[in-house]
Amino acid sequence: MKMTIRDIAEAAGVSTTTVSQILNNKGSRFSEKTREKVMTIVEEFNYKPDFFAQNMVTKKSQTIGMIVPDVTDFFFSKLIEGVEAYLNSLGYMILLCNSNHQAELEDKYFEELVHRSVEGVIIATPNQLSDSILKHERILNKSMSLILVDMGRNKRTEGKLLVEEYEGVYHATSYLIEEGHEAIGFLQEVGDYYQLSERITGYLNCLEDHHIAVQSSWVQSGPLTIEGGYLATKALLTTAVTPITALVCSNDQMAVGAYQAINEQGLKIPEDISVIGFDGLEISRYMAPALTTVHQPIFEIGYTAGEFIMGAIDSPQRKIPNKIFETKLIKRDSVKRLTR
């Protein structure tokens, strides 16, 4: 039989109000002896307060809604891990929704989360959000907080979580050129993923700055998935007028697919083609050969999103800060130096 506050009160010889206030950290007016007596009984019977009843008292659900485009994507799973690490440490839980990249589902899930009285919502989205979210009454009157992980796609002056993508890809392409490569391919995203224009721009500008003419067949598009990288690399290898000696991928998952496509062509990495990814996922260390990649701090981005939304909940009138995350080139075994 589940123990109630009334049972604890009777066992401790105090009122239910006393027990309730002690459990909700509002019992400063009670003696240490009374507090110890109540907490001893709570621990002895492993009492856990009814979550919904407690919410009625505190007016807090201790729940944050989170909407992501694809929970199976390595990037978003790491992002979620970072958000949870921060929120769970404060006793908060995530109510997670998978939008499958659909703007309509983002609107639907947002309304559902509002109805479930979440204290805030974190949305990772490749879309321009609708006014039904951005101008929702609870967002405008700051009774509910909203944090976006959207690469700055939605206009705002605060709460921007941005990654130095341009610098990361520029540095990666420069590294390949320093290693003697000039025929460098690029796999860019297509479809409903983030429009990673900074990454393709970093690649193109780097080649231009080094006076290397880009051939259109060196750039192929695909979804930011393993299959997307595989198909895009197959297309590149069969259509490139000048065969490439190196390849930059828009993310590590595309690089995994690129490995397979290159191997199927009877080519070896890095002996025939050097490969660089982007993200710095854990899997990149265990690829054969280990993948050189541009690391972005995905876990830290999620952790910061959790930190920012709690700051907005605690101080709704205070401006949410912006934060820029640096990238770092991790050099491993998938790049070969060419001798001229």
Q: List the single range of 74-83, 146-155, 218-227 with lowest mean pLDDT.
A: 146-155
User: Is 112's pLDDT higher than 70?
Assistant: yes
Higher confidence at residue 19 or residue 182?
182
Mean pLDDT of 34-62: 70
C-alpha atoms less than 13 angstroms from C-alpha of 329 in its C-beta half-sphere: 18
The arrangement of secondary structure in 5-57, i.e. its CATH architecture, is Orthogonal Bundle (1.10)
Dist. CA 54–CA 42, nearest whole Å: 16
Q: What is the pTM of this model?
A: 0.80
DSSP 8-state secondary structure symbol assigned to residue 214: P
Instruction: Kindly state the tokens that stand for 264.
Output: 């199927």
Q: Is the pLDDT of residue 340 over 90?
A: no
Q: What six digits make up the tokens of 37?
A: 């007596």
Kindly state the tokens that stand for 164: 């130095």
* 274, 293 contact by CB (below 8 A): no
Q: What angle do CA 268, 335, 219 make, to 5 degrees?
A: 80
Average pLDDT over residues 129-152: 89
Q: What's the pLDDT at 56?
A: 46
Superfamily of domain covering 165-295: Response regulator (3.40.50.2300)
The two domains 5-57 and 165-295 share their CATH topology (first three levels equal): no
Phi, psi of 246 (to 5 degrees): -150, 155
Q: What pLDDT, on a 0 to 100 scale, did the predictor assign at position 141?
A: 87
Average pLDDT over residues 56-60: 54
Residue % of the chain over a pLDDT of 90: 64
Distance between CA 298 and CA 333 in Å, rounded? 23
Could you tell me the fold of the domain covering 62-163+298-326?
Rossmann fold (3.40.50)
Question: Is the confidence at residue 337, as pLDDT, over 90?
Answer: yes
Domain edges within the chain: 5-57, 62-163+298-326, 165-295
